[in-house]
Amino acid sequence: MEDAAMRILVIEDEEPMLRNLERGLSRAGFRVDSATDGQTGLDKASMTAYDVIVLDRDLPRVHGDEVCRRLNLAGNEARVIMLTAAASLDDLTEGLNLGADDYLTKPFRFPELTARINALARRSGRPSPVVFERDGLTLDPSRGLAARDGEDLDLTHREIMVLEVLLRAEGGVVSADRLLEEVWGQDADPFGSSVRVTMSRLRRRLGDPPIIETVVGRGYRI
């Protein structure tokens, strides 16, 4: 079964723009990874199945045009939205000929970017988001909604992601390392207490009787 939250790779070398995109896309419910140069972006795209790649055209190490060309040659299935400051018809045509699925000129409005990402996902035939139900707990990850026994739960985006991973395991044990990888991604601190602190807070918000079990030495399960 595929993840309900789409996975996005942002390849952008301008730090302020990159951080804004990461924050905005994460708040919109996407799972976001990032790279600041073309080669790192290619490396990540070869190791992870992304739904959409948001690709700046003017990149260091490997130019965005070449990144797009290599992705296309490799048969990478991610949809590509190319970002550029150039707005001429020739630039648009060149980007699309290299394999980009869409083209967005800077500056742009953030809602337009999210709308285009969702449109590309629909074109790729992505299935409708999954709603989980288990032991009175209901979770709609795509809308960020959770409830238990009919009572709405006020959960953060990260708590919803943790809950989604646990529910997808269908009673199996999920290790802390897997949670770090799937929820925190490249922001994960393997020596920190992120999982333990988030799990403790999530348990309080889910209420009694306890629904998340700690399996000593292995991880967590519902």
| Cα–Cα distance measured from residue 191 to residue 174, given in angstroms and rounded to the nearest whole number | 18
Q: What is the pLDDT confidence band of residue 94, given thresholds at 50, 70 and 90?
A: low
Long-range contacts of 106-110 (CB under 8 A, 24+ apart): 108/83, 110/20, 110/24
Task: State mean pLDDT over 74-102.
Answer: 75
1 domain-assigned? no
Q: Is 157 helix (H, G, I), strand (E, B) or coil?
A: helix
15 Cα distance to chain centroid: 19
Question: Distance from first CA to last CA of the chain, Å, rounded?
Answer: 18
Mean pLDDT of 78-96: 71
User: What is each CA distance from 177 to 23, 48, 190, 218, in whole angstroms?
Assistant: 23, 17, 8, 10
H-run or E-run covering 95: helix 89-97
Q: Are 12 and 110 contained in the same domain?
A: yes
Give the phi and the psi of residue 208 in degrees, each rounded to 5: -100, 155
**Is pLDDT above 80 for 23?**
yes
- Domain assignment present for residue 41? The answer is yes
Radius of gyration of the CA atoms of the chain, in A = 19
Mean pLDDT comparison of 1-10, 12-21, 26-35, 115-124, highest-scoring range: 12-21
Q: Dihedral sign for Cα 33, 2, 194, 178, please.
A: negative
Residue 129 scores a pLDDT above 80: no
Q: CA–CA separation, 135 vs 44, rounded Å?
A: 37
Same domain, 159 and 136: yes
2 inside domain = no
- Report d(CA 55, CA 37) in Å as an integer: 10
Task: Tell me which of 79, 103, 123 is where a domain ends.
Answer: 123
Chain-centre distance of CA 206, in angstroms?
24
Q: Which two tokens stand for residue 76?
A: 């990478």
Confidence label for 38 from pLDDT (cuts 50, 70 and 90): very high
pLDDT value of position 3: 42
pLDDT tens for each residue of 142-165: 677 899 998 999 998 889 888 988
Same domain, 69 and 141: no
User: Is residue 184, in this structure, part of any structural domain at all?
Assistant: yes
108 and 146 inside one domain: no
Please give the residue that has the higher pLDDT: either 82 or 189: 82
Among candidates 211, 40, 47, 46, which has minimal Cα distance to 137? 211
Q: For residue 20, is pLDDT > 70?
A: yes
- Among 123, 144, 176, residue at a domain's last position: 123
Total number of domains in the chain: 2
In-domain check, residue 102: yes
